[in-house]
């Protein structure tokens, strides 16, 4: 309440400035002045507000009404974006700030706390994944020198009362803090001279009692910036979910400031992310020499490390998840890191693994993770997929098709054929059928029929039609059920189709909610939960 009152008073005073500017000084009535404004001091004349360098009275953070109006307009554009498939939602955004706002809107109806970092460099944001979980707060971004209006509007929409700046004053200028102070928002800061010290400071301040931490490399070794943060894209939701701080180190030696932070902490276990090229075995040995339990989670590539992290979280394949998040893992643009980092809170809140794409393609490890779950996905509708901003639309749509069991169209989009599926033989065995063409035709028929039936609203007629539709679907159902543990192939088509309908059911209710003024987070949850079987 104190924040709301303070911000309202300041907004009214600033609005009065615009009116009083045209009134002779002798006729001006300063009313309730002087007033005390946090971070500014005592204001004795209205003109003092105009003299604050860089202060714009119409800045959205100082004018809540503007933020509310803009938020109502922006919901559909910024959050819902595209739904190219019934199980797929693709967030959009022109830049890093848009991408962070989109994930904030997709995750939170409101939040008393938020994090903010600079939008042009990823160094300070490296460890914000854990902080998103510790504070249950979204990550927002802004330019170093001023508070971006889009971020200001999102702070107003969320109703933020406390904000943690990540990085020093060179990263986020004092002007940004001054505006936040004027708006009545409590502001804290974590930061150090380098990204490594910023991570250590955040760990000691935000999670002083944590007994487990994640350790990743701080810098790339081949000039590819993505090498320094790619592992964190997938591990951040895991760290956020468990309240584990993230520490950084040089690859070949344990950085002294990180070693000191560990020595000061209550840590007992370190989870090293990436192979020996990311964090050397000598670093692991030094950690063990400090009396810590160390385990390494890694794949052959950054894409494999992402699926290895998913497995550690309990997701052996796509069928174990109700929701998947796809983030771009290649350096296709300078700010490619932003949506992946901003996805941590969403992945933690919804227990969703993050998988990586590679521009317009799906890496073999990501494709394997998805197709390994195809048999179960065909039975229950499979998980929904949320594509972060900057994910190539082709890769996004291909992933959605694979989750629906439509291998033919998915591989066509990717420019691949069936021989490119490393797990093709296992896939056929899991389906219990050897005739691939029949499997694909039947699977496409079931999915298309269910979607058409849901759209038509006549589910009973749909079930009856599928139950008598012929040997292809009957064979598919028998094969699927028979391949399950303990299955005997005896379940009827009605039972299986009923399960599928349950998995994609609620489409009408969800779309109705999107039109009725539900919050962005509610709409996203409805789309991904109802459509993806979650």
| pLDDT tier for residue 374 given thresholds of 50, 70 and 90 | confident
DSSP 76: I
CA distance 244 to 384: 27
Residue 86 has pLDDT above 80, yes or no: no
| pLDDT tier for residue 438 given thresholds of 50, 70 and 90 | low
Which one is predicted more confidently, 209 or 501? 209
Residue 54 has pLDDT above 50, yes or no: yes
Among 189-198, 235-244, 454-463, 516-525, the range scoring the smallest mean pLDDT is 454-463
Distances (CA, A) of 121 to 124, 148, 255, 334, 356: 7, 15, 21, 9, 20
CA distance 182 to 147: 13
Mean pLDDT value of segment 500-509: 41
- Tokens for 462? 């749909």
Residue 458 has pLDDT above 60, yes or no: no
CA distance 507 to 513: 10
Can you give the pLDDT at residue 342? 95
Q: What is the largest CA-CA distance in the chain?
A: 93
What does the angle CA 86 – CA 331 – CA 273 come to, to the nearest 5 degrees? Answer: 85
What pLDDT digit, counting tens, does each position of 264-312 carry? 999 999 999 999 999 999 999 999 999 999 999 999 999 999 999 999 9
Residue keyed to tokens 């950054």: 302
Find the Cα–Cα–Cα–Cα dihedral 519, 522, 528, 531, rounded to 10°.
-100
Residue 211 has pLDDT above 70, yes or no: yes
What pLDDT digit, counting tens, does each position of 381-411 carry? 789 899 999 999 999 999 999 998 888 888 8
The 3-state DSSP class for residue 312 equals helix
Can you give the pLDDT at residue 168? 85
Residue 93 has pLDDT above 90, yes or no: no
Which one is predicted more confidently, 423 or 197? 197
Mean pLDDT value of segment 482-509: 44
| pLDDT tier for residue 82 given thresholds of 50, 70 and 90 | low
Check: CB of residue 308 under 8 Å from CB of residue 201. no
What does the angle CA 457 – CA 461 – CA 466 come to, to the nearest 5 degrees? Answer: 115
Q: What is the 3-state secondary structure (H, E, C) of 108-171?
A: CCCCCEEEEEECCCCCHHHHHHHHHHHHCCCEEEECCCCCCHHHHHHHHHHCCCEEEEECCCCC
Can you give the pLDDT at residue 467? 52
For residue 432, give the nearest of 485, 386, 396 by alpha carbon. 485
CB atoms under 10 Å from CB of 291, counted, come to: 8
Among 192-196, 322-326, 376-380, the range scoring the smallest mean pLDDT is 376-380
Residue 473 has pLDDT above 90, yes or no: no
| pLDDT tier for residue 226 given thresholds of 50, 70 and 90 | confident
CA distance 45 to 47: 5
- Tokens for 344? 């941590």
For residue 360, give the nearest of 308, 317, 321, 412 by alpha carbon. 412
Paired residues of 212 in beta bridges: 269
CA distance 100 to 118: 11
The 3-state DSSP class for residue 214 equals strand
Give Cα 118 distance to the centre of its chain. Answer: 18
| pLDDT tier for residue 490 given thresholds of 50, 70 and 90 | very low
* Omega within 30 of 0 (cis) for the link into 36: no
Can you give the pLDDT at residue 204? 86
Can you give the pLDDT at residue 431? 57
For residue 518, give the nearest of 109, 137, 103 by alpha carbon. 109
- Tokens for 355? 């998988």
What pLDDT digit, counting tens, does each position of 148-170 carry? 999 999 999 999 999 999 988 88
| pLDDT tier for residue 518 given thresholds of 50, 70 and 90 | low
Query: Which residues, at least 6 apart from 393, have a Cβ–Cβ distance to it below 8 Å?
Result: 82, 84, 90
Can you give the pLDDT at residue 492? 47
Can you give the pLDDT at residue 79? 44
Can you give the pLDDT at residue 95? 93
Burial (Cβ within 10 Å: 0-12, 13-18, ≥19) of residue 336 = buried
């Amino acid at each position: 309440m104190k924040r709301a009152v303070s911000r309202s008073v300041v907004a009214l005073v600033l609005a009065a400035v615009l009116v009083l500017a045209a009134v002779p000084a002798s006729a001006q009535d300063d009313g309730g002045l002087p007033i005390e404004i946090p971070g500014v001091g005592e204001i004795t004349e209205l003109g003092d507000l105009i003299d604050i360098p860089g202060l714009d009275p119409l800045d959205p953070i100082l004018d809540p009404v503007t933020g509310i109006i803009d938020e109502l307009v922006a919901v559909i554009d910024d959050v819902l974006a595209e739904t190219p498939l019934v199980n797929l939602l693709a967030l959009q955004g022109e830049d890093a700030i848009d991408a962070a706002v989109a994930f904030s809107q997709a995750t939170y109806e409101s939040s008393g706390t938020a994090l903010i970092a600079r939008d042009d460099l990823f160094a300070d944001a490296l460890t914000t994944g854990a902080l998103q979980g510790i504070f249950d707060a979204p990550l927002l971004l802004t330019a170093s020198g001023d508070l971006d209006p889009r971020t200001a509007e999102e702070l107003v929409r969320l109703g933020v009362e406390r904000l943690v700046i990540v990085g020093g004053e060179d990263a986020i200028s004092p002007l940004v803090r001054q505006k936040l102070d004027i708006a009545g928002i409590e502001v804290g800061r974590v930061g150090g001279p380098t990204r490594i010290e910023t991570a250590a400071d955040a760990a000691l301040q935000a999670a002083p009692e944590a007994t487990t931490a994640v350790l990743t490399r701080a810098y790339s070794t081949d000039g590819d910036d993505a090498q320094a943060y790619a592992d964190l894209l997938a591990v951040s939701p895991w760290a956020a979910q468990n309240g584990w701080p993230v520490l950084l180190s040089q690859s070949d030696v344990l950085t002294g400031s990180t070693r000191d932070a560990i020595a000061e902490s209550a840590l007992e276990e370190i989870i090293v992310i990436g192979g020996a090229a990311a964090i050397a075995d000598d670093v692991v040995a030094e950690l063990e020499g400090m009396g810590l339990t160390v385990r390494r989670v890694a794949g052959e590539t950054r894409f494999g490390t992402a699926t290895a992290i998913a497995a550690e979280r309990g997701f052996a394949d796509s069928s174990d998840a109700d929701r998947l998040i796809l983030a771009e893992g290649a350096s296709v643009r300078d700010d490619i890191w932003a949506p992946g980092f901003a996805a941590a809170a969403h992945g933690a809140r919804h227990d969703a693994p993050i998988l990586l794409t590679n521009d317009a393609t799906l890496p073999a490890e990501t494709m394997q993770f998805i197709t390994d779950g195809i048999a179960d996905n065909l039975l229950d509708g499979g998980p929904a997929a949320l594509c972060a901003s900057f994910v190539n639309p082709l890769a996004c749509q291909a992933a959605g098709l694979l989750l629906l069991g439509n291998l033919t169209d998915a591989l066509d989009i990717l420019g691949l054929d069936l021989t490119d599926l490393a797990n093709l033989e296992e896939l056929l065995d899991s389906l219990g059928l050897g005739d691939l063409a029949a499997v694909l035709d039947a699977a496409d028929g079931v999915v298309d029929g269910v979607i058409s039936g849901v759209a038509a609203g006549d589910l009973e007629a749909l079930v009856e039609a599928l139950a008598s539709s012929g040997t292809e679907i009957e064979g598919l159902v028998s094969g699927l059920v028979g391949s399950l543990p303990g299955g005997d192939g005896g379940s009827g088509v009605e039972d299986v189709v009923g399960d599928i309908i349950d998995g994609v059911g609620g489409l009408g209710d969800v779309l109705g909610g999107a039109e009725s003024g539900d919050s962005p987070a509610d709409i996203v949850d409805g789309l991904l939960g109802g459509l993806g079987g979650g």
